Amino acid sequence: MATWQPSLDNVEPAEIVGRRLLAKTYKDWPALGPPNGQLKLSAEAFEDSRLSEDLSVDRLGVNNPVRAVVRRLTVVADTEAAKALKQFCGWIAIAAKDLKNSRVFASPLSIEEHGIDNPFHAEIDRSQFRERAQAFHLSVSLRFQFQDRGRYVPPVRGD
């Protein structure tokens, strides 16, 4: 069981939120541990063709990722990636307070309602970005913010 239990109602400013990286481009990051200056992100990491939905992120901890939470979410992410015939490669993460012009809200998932048990799920509000051009603008903005102020969080498998 994870040691940190996030609020079900709100995301605190110091919480670290991470966007899952599934593209093959990111597969070597765990071995490389890239410093911020070498984070090469694609805007695709922040795109979602489902324009009516907000952008999913995982809540990884407060101030720093919590290893037990990352381990638990790695299992969830690996399972979801395999269903999509992709490989989960970790997260690009940032403190919620460092996201400019974006609101992050808690959105826990349950097996009963969503088929997934993820109390660490949250979303970046895209209510003002429902059209394709607006959504693309947001994805580029998020890419720059995560790349400039974010950090790579590798998956934790085993133990």
Q: DSSP labels for 30-50?
A: HHH---GGG----GGGG--S-
Is a pLDDT exceeding 60 seen at residue 30? Answer: no
Measured between alpha carbons, how far is 70 from 45 in angstroms, rounded to an integer? 19
Return the H-helix or E-strand segment holding 149: helix 132-149
pTM (whole model) above 0.75: yes
Residue-wise pLDDT tens digits, 120-150 = 999 888 777 777 778 788 888 888 888 888 8
Looking at residue 26, what is its pLDDT?
58
